[in-house]
Amino acid sequence: MIFKGINNQTVEFKITNYQFPEITDCEYDSNWLLVYLKVKSDYGNWETIDPSLLVRDLKDIIEWFEQLSNDIETDSDSLVFMEPNLEFELIKNQSDLKTVRIIFDLESRPQNANDDKEYYVDCEMDNAELKKVAKELKKELESFPERAIG
């Protein structure tokens, strides 16, 4: 799926596989997902693939976008994960328009990243667009069910 950012920035987000497809009986190793990112931003263009999210994390992202799309107050204005490669932050919340910042860190930044610089893309979305994001992320998740739940 593609997040459309302001100033024609884009973030292509795709789950390509489990990090360890052959391991099906370990709560963590069975559920790490390889996340492909193709970023076109004001900070440059880059592509990465890294085991950044667990299946549970992706479910949390979907729920967060669904809550935003329905004007339901979320538990947090930001989503941070065990692997701090990606973060989603609500930076502006109006009933008709929300701005979500996708922040890239560690392996999700460009290879020549400057450690003193923050890399992110801001996306302005109305409720219909937020619903579409949740729907497209659900579609990404369909092929990768949670395995070996503890």
- Residue 89: pLDDT band (50, 70, 90) is very high
Bin 126: left if φ > 0, else alpha if -120 < ψ < 50, else beta: beta
pLDDT for position 59? 97
Mind listing the pLDDT tens digit for each residue in 93-123?
A: 988 899 999 999 999 999 999 999 999 999 9
Q: Residues 68, 78: contact at Cβ < 8 Å?
A: no
Answer for the pair 60, 48: CB distance below 8 angstroms, yes or no.
no
Strand stretches in 29-128, DSSP E: 32-41, 44-54, 78-80, 86-93, 98-104, 119-125
pLDDT tens, position by position, 32-80: 999 999 999 999 999 999 999 999 999 999 999 999 999 998 889 999 9
Q: What's this model's pTM, rounded to 2 decimal places?
A: 0.95
Q: Set out the domains of the chain in order of their start, with CATH numbers.
A: 2-141 (2.30.31)
- State the pLDDT at residue 70: 94
Both ends of the chain: CA-CA distance in Å?
A: 30
Residue 149 has pLDDT above 80, yes or no: no
| Spatial CA neighbour of 64 closest among 146, 135, 145, 134 | 134
Residue 7: is it exposed, middle or buried by C-beta count within 10 angstroms (0-12/13-18/19+)? exposed
